[in-house]
Structure 1
Amino acid sequence: MGLSLEDVTEIRPISYIRVAVLTILTVIALLAAAVGVFFGLVPALATFSVALLLVGLYHINNLFKLVRWLRTPVDEAAPLPRAFGLWDYVFADVNRRASTASRQQERLSAALERFREASQAMPNGLLFLSMSNTIEWVNRLGEQHFGLDRARDQGAPVTNIVRQPDFVRYLQGGHYEEPLVFTAGRPIGRTLMVHVVPFSDDMRLLMSEDITQGERLEAMRRDFVANVSHEMRTPLTVVSGFLETVIDGLEDLEKDDIRHYLGLASEQAGRMQRLIQDLLTLSALETGAPILHEEPVDVGTLLGEIQQEAQVVSGGRHTISLDCSTHARLLGNNKELYSAFVNLAINAVRYTPAGGHIRLTWRQRGAVVEYMVEDDGIGIAPEHIPRLTERFYRVDRGRSRETGGTGLGLAIVKHVLSRHQGDLLIDSEPGRGSRFTACFPVRRLVA
């Protein structure tokens, strides 16, 4: 069985040291014997002692050199000590081993750095926990999910920082077959799904995923289905009731009564038709698809049509004025812009008592162009304003149904403006009217 290169490098220094020690002792013994032959036993012993002392001092000096070199910080790169014979070989061997260890450490450090970079790029939060749940390491997403600070919290038990009862029970229970979904206390309102994976006898990996947006979308979907069902049920019930009344009393009812009941049923059917049309419009806008056809839209012509539509809905009960002296053209989709602008105008008509005033205005202000709808109607309380663009959100549900609203108009307005790089500003006060302003960047104006 042959020896490998590593075996040879291990044997050679040992053999060399043995030979060197035997040689030194032999030389000292021969020197002492020669002195003893010529000068007697005492001089021989003295010579032997002095020689051993000098050799010992030589080795102690080289040993101090070695210790001083080993204690030098690695980043200072101290020169290798020099010596003769045995110690020169020892210094070279130690230096070779130190270089090998340094290269291995550099490789390990590089691998650890690559692992950390990969962990930071993960789309999940990562926490490395000991069996006692102390934090060994956490990536940036993990810090965000649990409100941690790696420099401050490393080495602390995670259950001392994240005190949510379900989370604490999950970690301490040891049953990690299924993930846990819970709401983290910091930051408030963040819903997390966590999964623990043991990967050694004393370490566990905790992975966290922020599912807040998904939970909100699911809640919105449930609310949307419930709202649509509710909004459709009311007019369907009315239509069904009137039709049953007419059918049951067809021979007894007067023509005027039949006409009245059928008119009310037709009105409710129209309301359902508008609701379905608004739902289709909103669904198309929410897909996020780009605008199919953009063209320069003549603002003056568009607002003139909207004023006429608002006057038809008002039925002469309001004074509706238009302030638009410009011949500007706005780059956008004519159908979508009409839908947004007319919704704002008709909303003002619906929520302004008879005899009120409604003003439609187009103006340029600095780097922004604005379409404003102002009224002196009932106004809106401040707590309702942030939610006005939610689907089916109504300040006064009874009044909205009476006026024929579907609860989707402002949601449509918000999406149309967003697709045209615009914003909706709302300024209102109960009893003093409202002002809705659609703002567009001036770069959308076409010369």
Structure 2
Amino acid sequence: MIRAVLLALLAAAVAVPVGHFVAHWAGWSTFCLGLALQMIFHFRNFARLDRWSRQPLVDASLEGEGEWDNIFGRLYRHEKDLRDQIARRDQEIAMLIAAGQALTDGVVLLDTQNHIMFCNTTAETQLGLKVATDRGQSIVNLVRQPEFVAYLEAGDFSRPLTLRPERYKDRVYAIHVIPYAGNRRLMQIKDVTQADRLDQTRRDFVANVSHELRTPLTVLAGFLETMQEIDLDDDERRRYLGMMADQSRRMQSIVQDLLTLSSIESAPPPDNDVVDMASLIDKLRRDAEALSGGRHNIVVESDGRGDLRGSEPELISALANLVTNAVRYTPAGGKITLHWQTSPQGAEFAVQDTGPGIDPKHIPRLTERFYRVDRGRSRDSGGTGLGLAIVKHSLNRHQAQLDIKSELGVGSRFAARFPASRVANG
């Protein structure tokens, strides 16, 4: 501005002498020419500013002359700072979106009309959405299960909705709706399938324990009531007392197995002692022969190599359960084979029998607590329904797996497979 005033004064200073000594019109012409040159200078810079304003760029070559250079410099710095701020904001938004995508819970953002504004990939999988095409759509038009629609329309989000989606019947989701920014809603979808299964397992366990203990308790109570109200001769009394003792022993076995299972689950990692497998297998064979009483043909097949590292009491308990089951459920005259072999991949102890076999539909559930293929036959054989659960947990603590193969009318094979890290020598 100062430069413009000085240039105008300079033009006037030149025009006055010209007008005085030459002619008035010459003075005015000189003054107008000076103002015109100044206007052309400003118009050229103004045109440059106009072109830049139509498509602003951070261009270091954007410069002018005089005061215009200061103006262009300020515009350049302002545009650069603005673009830096936008870049930082875009980066922060991208990081927030990436964080939302990385969540294991589903996240859906809804507007005031329950239209989808955003959802992460987890929510897309859980609810069958596609954010690329479903953004702006009403979520109740895409997830049409009546309980979900009613939950959103009711507007009471003090408790989550438990939803079993139609597309994934084996999954269970807990849906939390959290109001934010006015009437907008953030929907969190948590997969609670495992927790639901554990809760069902707990309920089944309590029911099974109650059922297993109620039967012998009912028998004991009945015999006690009978003995209190009826005079019995010595033979009948001894017979009743014997049956009561059998039921007491059954309850003791159930309680003992429950305590064993509990101690295994809560115990620290097993010892890393070397277990002499030749001696252990010989003990299992002798115990099997004693339990069989000569009713079965019991054979040992072993390559004679390799011992295991672990807790000997736990391994004996687990493997003895497999042998005992084979003896209990194999009819007289059947064959029971104890296999032991090692390889570079690890070691395997297997019990193969020629019993009645197991229907394949039961095999996935055999290691569940109190699960029985035939409840009546299991009780008659003295089983508590906890043996294979103990086997499974003991083997898991030794990084081993229980593999079960069975064919109806042919027999069963229960194999404990240990990793190479558990083999002491080959």
TM-score, length of structure 2 as denominator length:
0.86
Q: Which amino acid aligns with 2:251?
A: M
Q: CA deviation at 1:43?
A: 12
1:347–1:95 distance in 2 versus 1, CA, 3 Å: same
- 1:160 and 2:138 matched: no
**1:121-166 C-alpha deviation (Å, 9 max, x unpaired):** 6664433221122333334554454444555544443333333322
Q: Which amino acid aligns with 1:387?
A: R
The answer as to whether partners of 1:298 and 1:327 remain within 8 angstroms in 2 is no
Q: Which amino acid aligns with 1:338?
A: I
- 1:236 and 2:217 matched: yes
Q: CA deviation at 1:414?
A: 0.9
The answer as to whether partners of 1:300 and 1:325 remain within 8 angstroms in 2 is no
The answer as to whether partners of 1:72 and 1:78 remain within 8 angstroms in 2 is no
Q: CA deviation at 1:272?
A: 1.3
Q: CA deviation at 1:60?
A: 5.6
- 1:291 equivalent in structure 2: 269
**Alpha-carbon distance in 2 for matches of 1:128, 1:368:** 51
- 1:271 and 2:254 matched: no
**Alpha-carbon distance in 2 for matches of 1:21, 1:190:** 78
Runs of 5+ consecutive residues of structure 2 not aligned to the other structure: none
Out of 337, 342, 358, which is 1:364 matched to? 342
Q: CA deviation at 1:83?
A: 2.1
Runs of 5+ consecutive residues of structure 1 not aligned to the other structure: 1-15
Q: Which amino acid aligns with 2:361?
A: E
- 1:198 and 2:179 matched: yes
Out of 48, 70, 84, which is 1:65 matched to? 48
**Alpha-carbon distance in 1 for matches of 2:30, 2:114:** 68
Q: Identity over aligned residues, as a percent?
A: 43
1:127–1:46 distance in 2 versus 1, CA, 3 Å: farther
- 1:261 equivalent in structure 2: 240
Give the match's secondary structure for 1:307: helix
Out of 243, 261, 276, which is 1:282 matched to? 261
**Alpha-carbon distance in 2 for matches of 1:378, 1:73:** 86
- 1:8 equivalent in structure 2: none
**Alpha-carbon distance in 1 for matches of 2:103, 2:261:** 35
Give the match's secondary structure for 1:177: coil
Q: CA deviation at 1:55?
A: 6.5
1:314–1:178 distance in 2 versus 1, CA, 3 Å: same
The answer as to whether partners of 1:126 and 1:207 remain within 8 angstroms in 2 is yes
Q: CA deviation at 1:105?
A: 2.3
**Alpha-carbon distance in 2 for matches of 1:56, 1:155:** 54
- 1:402 and 2:380 matched: yes
Q: CA deviation at 1:384?
A: 1.2
Give the match's secondary structure for 1:104: helix
- 2:78 equivalent in structure 1: 97
Give the match's secondary structure for 1:190: coil
- 1:135 equivalent in structure 2: 116
- 1:304 equivalent in structure 2: 282
Q: CA deviation at 1:434?
A: 0.7
Q: CA deviation at 1:42?
A: 12
**Alpha-carbon distance in 1 for matches of 2:305, 2:261:** 30
**Alpha-carbon distance in 1 for matches of 2:165, 2:44:** 64
Q: Which amino acid aligns with 1:241?
A: G
Q: Which moved more, 1:114-123 or 1:430-439?
A: 114-123
Q: CA deviation at 1:23?
A: 7.1
1:32–1:130 distance in 2 versus 1, CA, 3 Å: farther
**Alpha-carbon distance in 2 for matches of 1:202, 1:196:** 12
Indicate the RMSD between aligned Cα atoms, in angstroms: 3.4
**Alpha-carbon distance in 2 for matches of 1:71, 1:45:** 37
Q: Which amino acid aligns with 1:180?
A: L
**1:188-230 C-alpha deviation (Å, 9 max, x unpaired):** 4332223222222353222333322222211111110000000
**Alpha-carbon distance in 1 for matches of 2:5, 2:134:** 59
The answer as to whether partners of 2:337 and 2:353 remain within 8 angstroms in 1 is yes
Give the match's secondary structure for 2:321: helix
Q: CA deviation at 1:357?
A: 0.9
Out of 371, 379, 404, which is 1:393 matched to? 371
**Alpha-carbon distance in 2 for matches of 1:159, 1:63:** 56
**1:371-417 C-alpha deviation (Å, 9 max, x unpaired):** 11111111111111111111111111111111111111111111111
1:149–1:57 distance in 2 versus 1, CA, 3 Å: farther
Q: How many residues align?
A: 424
**Alpha-carbon distance in 1 for matches of 2:162, 2:337:** 51
- 1:207 and 2:188 matched: yes
TM-score, length of structure 1 as denominator length:
0.82
1:201–1:48 distance in 2 versus 1, CA, 3 Å: farther
The answer as to whether partners of 2:110 and 2:185 remain within 8 angstroms in 1 is yes
**Alpha-carbon distance in 2 for matches of 1:27, 1:133:** 71
**Alpha-carbon distance in 1 for matches of 2:67, 2:16:** 25
**Alpha-carbon distance in 2 for matches of 1:245, 1:210:** 54
